[in-house]
Amino acid sequence: MTDRTYPDDSVGSFPSPPATVTDGSGREIRVRESGQDDLEALVEMYENFDPSDRAQGIPPVDSDAIREWLDAIVTPDAVTVVAEHDGRPVGHAILVPDSNSGYELAIFILGEYQGAGIGTELLEHLLGQGQAAGVERVWLTVERWNEPAIALYKKIGFETSSSESFELEMSIRI
């Protein structure tokens, strides 16, 4: 595997969770740090995830496979935040350590909560939580055709680090 490249300069500081925000549809959304205690609530959220929003095989579709996947990534080494509406998760973002002291990022938002600014809030607070945990280098992959996601990542400060594969790779230094 080739070494990933990251921007030379770190972007500014990000806000730490928790926070309560009003989304673009007037809903009150709570963003907070998440962890293994939230596993069952997250399984339920991913069971309701639109299969057409899946990316590179995740999240899995089957309930047992979702639980197995979350067990593997929601570890004490991971940084994870959740967005809740009426006490139930509607969005989830996570940083998972790779083997080169970088972190891979992914974010998932239920269909009816997309396009309301929740992704921006979730990402900013995830990176704020990451900064508090000592994370410096973050990368992600995104499908080339997923323009809304790419625009969001750019707005946050991600830069394209590799465009040679099926997916676009982007990275940020925080």
Partner 1 sequence: MKVLLGTGGREDGFDALGRTLERTREAGDDLTVAVLETSSDEDVESVAADVREQVTASGIDAEVRVLEGHPGSQLVEFAETEGFEQIVLGGGQRSPLGKIDLGEVAEFVLLNADVSVTLVR
Residues that bind partner 1 (CB under 8 A): 2, 55-58, 69, 72-73, 94, 96-99, 104-106, 141, 164-167
Smallest distance from partner 1 to CB 59, Å: 8
Nearer to partner 1, 27 or 69 (CB): 69
Q: What does residue 144 show for φ and ψ, rounded to 5 degrees?
A: -60, -30
Distance CA 21, CA 136 (A): 26
Smallest distance from partner 1 to CB 23, Å: 25
Sign, CA dihedral 72-75-81-83, equals positive
Nearer to partner 1, 8 or 166 (CB): 166
* Residue in 108, 107, 79, 82 with CA at minimum distance from that of residue 174: 79
Nearer to partner 1, 21 or 39 (CB): 39
Question: If you ran DSSP here, which 8-state letter would residue 96 be given?
Answer: E
In the numeric block, which tokens belong to residue 107?
């974010």
Smallest distance from partner 1 to CB 156, Å: 18
Q: C-alpha angle with apex 86: 29 to 142, nearest 5 degrees?
A: 50
Q: At what angle do helices 147-156 and 118-132 cross, to 10 degrees?
A: 40
Distance CA 161, CA 4 (A): 7
Nearer to partner 1, 21 or 58 (CB): 58
Smallest distance from partner 1 to CB 73, Å: 6
Nearer to partner 1, 65 or 151 (CB): 65
Smallest distance from partner 1 to CB 160, Å: 17
Q: C-alpha angle with apex 111: 107 to 112, nearest 5 degrees?
A: 125
